[in-house]
Homo-oligomer: A and B are copies of this chain.
């Protein structure tokens, strides 16, 4: 089994690359829109990308040595083992935690499997094996597994809206695909397949099938990956059925809610997916659903599906995104509210939503070959996602505000622990977001020092990258070996550059450079020893928000390269609330030995004087008295790694 699947498994492990041809024909679709603009790009698997950069390489090491063992430890400490053991023993009662606990186990196994895919690790391997044993013992003969339902003796699939059974199943499928791809083993995959077969026989279109879909999309992503790995279109068909039916207000029927009183927005169950115009509802649910929709569109060449997702993406990024590349304005629904409602202290920006945005942007980039999607993938990775885990690897943010009075800190675990294993599986595979290939193209989306083995239809290319990126903007990309002949190197020109990046090929500036969809395109017969030198301008930028964003008015955020900065109380000698950044004060970038060698920004600001015993409100006195205050800004992604305290991304100008 392992041998037969190995190539497909390889292709599917990091971010589910597209197959050359669709597994599912479009026959039977109600409408027949024109085919999508499919760039046909295929991600280069994370295992083909060796990182030696100053940002992700140490994080990946920590992920393997600290985070994954920490996750397994937390599973043990928080009742997960007992849930599976009770399910295996058919014990009733004593289930611990919220309904979706199983998914944390699956995501941890998935993250661990990615580590095993990069390099052997007996300790992690043993933990995975132990868990697979528990899972197999708990699985029912017909393939069903959901410890919450089993231990509580509930009737299966009776509350799809709230109870996350299919969501958990989706994570089981993803874990199994990852485990098979990394280890070549089929035990977990067989388990997952049996459950997927049960689901396929239970749900979807056709006589005798149950209607409905899961309140939290995820099963669709798992089914697509399983379908690709096994080359079995029935899983894809089920994923498609779930996506296509969504919006039929199934949850109103399931819960006896009168349609007149039903608002399915939170569950993305208000309108059919092709009719979506703005991003709304629960952020992670929305982004997982759209990611699945792009997977399906890629398989079915369904342009109307892509058009809907692109419409929503545009709304999200034009009007509803935080400066750090994350989404989700409100704690209330863990999701979206109104255009330009982008608070700072109350920014929700769940780590999982940022991860999901990376999933979606990655898919859209591959589908369209447009660098603007990869721009945001990079921005979100370096800022909103990287903030999700401490430098020590064992503390996590679930919520990521852009300002804090000092009480917000990373925690070792959460009752709802979706984020810790999610960030772990992404860090493990971040190299998979760097390169993609087309028929005759090598896309370079992330500039990560290290090397990569890239496979084109006509041959292989070994690329080596030397750079201090993201702390420095000089990037040298050398072709070490190639058997691929002519091909186009598509080098992403980051949107944050604000202008053209300089490009030299073998020491010469090409007389003309083709620029296409955000890429500098260099087509030639590449040879071993060829060198491309890029210089990405890394000035310190003051970013301002759109005038309709209330909370950024009169404020700026600092960025340099792909990194958004913030100021922590410990780095400034006045109360953070009083700090004012002069509009033209010079700021300088300095490499530091703090915070894993991050480049920090330093400069002179001022601070409004705080009167002793001052009244809470008083007559405005014009320009307030100020004193000088030196400030140091640190990358947002590493805040709360030092002295815990107040923090601000948006600094008052004055």
A residues whose Cβ falls under 8 Å from a Cβ of B: 317-319, 321, 323, 337-338, 340-341, 343, 345-346, 403, 405-407, 498, 541-551, 553-554, 556-557, 575, 577-578, 583, 608-611, 614-622, 624, 652-654
Contact = CB atoms under 8 A, between A and B. Distances in A.
Contacts of A616: 317-319, 321, 545-546, 549
22 contacts: A318-B615, A318-B616, A319-B616, A321-B616, A337-B405, A338-B407, A345-B346, A346-B346, A542-B620, A543-B620, A544-B620, A546-B616, A546-B617, A547-B575, A547-B578, A547-B608, A547-B614, A547-B624, A549-B577, A549-B616, A550-B577, A553-B608
Give the number of copies in the complex: 2
Contact of A652 (B340, B548, B553): B553
Given A554-B654, A652-B553, A545 B617 contact: yes
A550 B323 contact: no
A299 B48 CA distance: 81
Contacts of A610: 546-548
Given A577-B547, A610-B547, A405 B542 contact: no
B341 A405 contact: yes
A578 B338 CA distance: 16
B548 A498 contact: no
Given A318-B615, A343-B345, A345-B343, A583 B622 contact: yes
Nearest to A607: B547
Nearest to A653: B620
A544 to B, nearest CB: 4
A616 to B, nearest CB: 5
Contacts of A548: 575, 577-578, 610
Given A554-B554, A577-B340, A619 B545 contact: no
A618 B544 CA distance: 6
| Most chain B beta-carbon contacts within 10 A, residue among A317, A548, A617, A622 | A617
A619 B541 contact: yes
Nearest to A343: B345
| Most chain B beta-carbon contacts within 10 A, residue among A318, A547, A551 | A547
9 pairs of A and B residues whose beta carbons are closest in the complex: A542-B620, A544-B620, A547-B608, A554-B554, A547-B578, A550-B577, A543-B617, A556-B620, A548-B577
A403 B549 CA distance: 13
| Most chain B beta-carbon contacts within 10 A, residue among A498, A556, A614 | A614
